[in-house]
Structures are given as structure tokens and as C-alpha cells.
Amino acid sequence: MEKIKIRDYTIKASTGREVWNIWGDNALRYRFRVKVKNEKTGAVAYFNFYGSIKDYEEGKNELNKEDLRFAFWCFLQDAEAGKMDFNEFLASFGYEAKEGRKIWRDCQNQLEKCERLGLNEDLRADLLNNELAEI
């Protein structure tokens, strides 16, 4: 099982578990439970990351280092979206209110996890503009 370290954060993932129709697309894919640990404070948070249909078809149920970087980038991007107010979120991403509310709340949950990990707004922006800029 691969893991990466970005600054004080170690990121690793479980072996993927098969899930069906997660987004209403009648497709199988793998769901990974990603663990982020702040090595300075010991704070830990988990989030779900979903592989592609293609990766599922190829039997790719482990995340490599590049995949982990991408998963961490997605986590930080979701947290950034969680800062928006609801109407701004809908306008930015084009969701209808009913569908968008759940996704917006999920993004707010990611933001709370980031804050518990010590990933404040300035640090998130710095990571997204430096170590994770090329994703």
C-alpha cells in the first residue's frame, strides 16, 4: 500500500471496495477510504475517494502515489467549495437546489475535517498553488 507525505501530512488509502451506482450511473467502481494524518499534532481525518469506471474494469483497486496526490487535491478543493454560501455554490457548480444541498454539505464536512487537521485557509491555498499546482 502506497503512501505519500506532503509537508506535515501523510496520506494513504485502503484497498478499494466495490460500489455500484454511486452517482446514478449504473456502473461499478472502487471506493477508497483515504486517511490524512498531521504528523505534528497526530490529528487524523478520513474521506472517501472514488476510482474511475475504467480503473474498475482494469482491476485497479490500489491508489498509487499520483492517485493519492489527486485524492488529496480533491479533498482540499472540496473544502474550498465548502466555504461558499449555498447560492454561490449552486451558481458556481450548476446544481439544482435539492441535489446541490447534499453536495454542498459534504463539502462543508470536508472543510471541517481540514480545519481539525490544521489545514487552515492559507495553508490549503499554499498547498494548492505549490505542491499540488500541477494536478
Please give the helix or strand (H or E) that residue 35 lies within, else none: strand 28-38
Q: What is the pLDDT of residues 6-37, one digit of tens each?
A: 999 999 999 999 999 998 899 999 999 999 99
pTM: 0.96
Mean pLDDT value across the chain: 97
Q: What is the pLDDT of residues 72-114, one digit of tens each?
A: 999 999 999 999 999 999 999 999 999 999 999 999 999 999 9
Helix, strand, or coil here: 15?
A: coil
- For the segment 44-68, the average pLDDT, to the nearest whole number, is 98
For the chain, the domains span: 3-129
